[in-house]
Amino acid sequence: MDDLLAWVTDPDAGWSVGTFGALAEFLRDPDEPASVSRTPGRATVVTTRGGVDVHPTGDVVPLAWERRAGDSWSQAVALCMPADGAGRSVITELGPDVDALRPEDRDAVLVDLGVGAPHLAACVRTSDAALLASLRAVEGRPLAEAGAVAGLLVEAGPHRVFRTAVARLEVFTPIPPPDGTSPDGPHTHLLPRLLAAGRTHAATDPIPAGRAPGATLHLPHPTRTVEGRPIPPRPEHHRRAQETLVRYGEPSAVTARAAVAEALATSAEPPPWALSRDHRATVELALRQAEELEPTHPHLGAWRARVPRERSESEGQPLTHDPAQG
């Protein structure tokens, strides 16, 4: 999986670690100073706003997919790990964070918020005596029964540390209030209503049964920033992403994508099978990609006339963002 680890050091790629209702995301600007480390089987990058460390284990199964996002598309690879861990379901103090990505953070205390996901420890890290006292006062309780702790976390803004067996993602930026917006760059989502569903991932993610996403790579978009802003086309990014999708995608999805690409290249109008319900999403993706990367494609107009553009519910959302996560 060295090819996937190479994306950790790519500033155009994003990463997320979490579960349905509790998610940490790492993004960085292309010109943002960063400390980057690569060792066999491991890749780490740290900025002043956060960091991510990815170290796949031998039982990881990578799974790639692409789907509509906003008025464009997104592409991702989940590092699927066994979902048979013993994640905590109550607030638990873990002691000093000796594995912190930065040496200066290793004396601060790590507290697991107990989100109940089998594969995830969603933690906060702090040296704030008042916040630690408040967290210790509710230790052993589920987060949903911890009273004013959520408000105290927003006020204090401790580091967030989300850990699985294959990755660690740290966020140093402030926590926005409930009516605020997530900051650019690294940030977290914590939504108790979604956590109550007991899912490890959104229903739209094709994670195999018995597995959970230990970390998710959000592949760079060839014509948009991660926030969804248009940029000049980068065909090389699209080529690399497609190679990754072919290597790690579900075989049926890879076959369907290849068939649609061949039909679009050779047929002036979509053949009947391409208009079927089974191929609708794949055709829509191919047309969106052609519109942004090959707007003068000779068959694009006729195909689009037969396949009107579908509007996504996630219009305006960042391309790494799962609308279900809030």
Give residue-wise pLDDT tens across range 175-195.
887 777 777 899 999 888 888
What pLDDT score does 323 carry?
Answer: 37
- Give the H or E element holding residue 306: helix 300-306
Supply the pLDDT for residue 1: 80
- What is the DSSP secondary-structure string of 7-40? GGG-TT-EEEEEETTEEEEE---TTS--EEEEET
Is residue 275 within 8 Å of 34, Cβ to Cβ? no
On the question of pLDDT at 324 being above 60, the answer is no
The pLDDT, as a whole number, for residue 257 is 97
Segment 141-163 mean pLDDT: 91
Mean pLDDT of 12-33: 94
- In this structure, what token pair is assigned to residue 214? 């230990």
Q: What is the mean pLDDT of the chain?
A: 91
pLDDT at 132: 97
Inform me whether the pLDDT recorded for 8 exceeds 50: yes
| Nearest to 18, CA basis, from 277, 256, 207 | 207
CA distances from 160 to 116, 124, 218 (A): 16, 4, 20
Q: Where are the alpha helices (DSSP H) in 98-168?
A: 129-137, 149-156
Instruction: Quote the pLDDT of residue 149.
Output: 87
**Average pLDDT in the 126-153 region?**
92
- 74-127 pLDDT, tens digit each: 999 999 999 987 789 999 999 999 999 999 999 999 999 999 999 999 999 999
Residue 313 has pLDDT above 90, yes or no: no
What confidence score (pLDDT) does residue 312 get?
A: 58
- DSSP for 237-265, written as a single string: HHHHHHHHHHHHB-HHHHHHHHHHHHHHH
Q: Residues 6 or more apart from 320 whose CB is under 8 A from it?
A: 14, 16, 25, 27, 74, 76, 218, 226
What is the percent of the chain with per-residue pLDDT over 70, rounded to a whole number? 95
Crossing angle of helices 149-156/129-137, nearest 10°? 160
pLDDT score of 319: 45
Neighbouring CB atoms inside 10 A of 67's CB total 16
* DSSP category for residue 98: T
Selection from 134, 183, 131, 177 nearest residue 156 by Cα: 131
Q: What is the 3-state secondary structure (H, E, C) of 208-227?
A: CCCEEEEEEEECCCCCECCC
**pLDDT value, residue 317:** 46
Least confident of 47-56, 133-142, 153-162, 225-234: 225-234
| Contact assessment for residue 24 and residue 186, using Cβ atoms and an 8 Å cutoff | yes
Nearest to 206, CA basis, from 97, 52, 62, 324: 62
Which 3 state secondary structure label does DSSP give 285? helix
